Each structure stands twice: as C-alpha cells, then as structure tokens.
C-alpha cells in the first residue's frame, strides 16, 4: 500500500469516526473528559487531511488537469 494512501486512510478514520462519536455524545447531552481530547484529535486529523490533500494535488497535477479538462 502506498504511504500516502495509508496516511490519508488513518487521518480520515480518526477524523471521521471521531466526528461521529462527538456528534453522538453532543446529541445525547453526554459530557466526558474524552470530549475535549476527541475534539483535539478530530481537528488535528482534519488538518492533516488538508495538508496531505494539497500535497497530493500538487504531485498529481497532470492527472488532475486531465480529469478537469484544463489546458485543452
């Protein structure tokens, strides 16, 4: 498996599952010490996703341009 794919998968799982758990806790009015820690890691993983996505688009700029039809 490609390293970038592994990084993207890990960040997505942390951010996605963390966000879903936070949503469930918020909707049920449950306040735990875990909430602030989970929110921290949810935001950190989301920021990592942004950085990796920008780097990925930069590396595969040619493929992205072909998909979007830029430069035809």
CA–CA separation, 72 and 69 (whole Å): 6
CA–CA separation, 56 and 24 (whole Å): 32
Q: What is the torsion angle, in degrees rounded to the nearest 10, for the CA atoms of residue 40, residue 43, residue 44 and residue 50? A: 180
Phi, psi of 28 (to 5 degrees): -95, 0
pTM for the predicted model, two decimal places: 0.67
Tens of pLDDT, residue by residue, the chain (72 residues):
688 778 888 888 888 888 899 899 889 988 888 788 888 888 888 898 888 888 887 887 877 778 778 766
What is the pLDDT, as a whole number, of residue 24? 92
């Amino acid at each position: 498996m490609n390293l970038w794919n592994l990084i993207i998968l890990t960040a997505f799982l942390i951010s996605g599952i963390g966000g879903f758990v936070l949503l469930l806790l918020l909707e049920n009015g449950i306040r735990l010490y875990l909430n602030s820690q989970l929110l921290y890691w949810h935001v950190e993983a989301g920021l990592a996703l942004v950085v990796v996505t920008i780097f990925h688009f930069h590396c595969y700029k040619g493929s992205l341009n072909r998909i979007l039809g830029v430069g035809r």
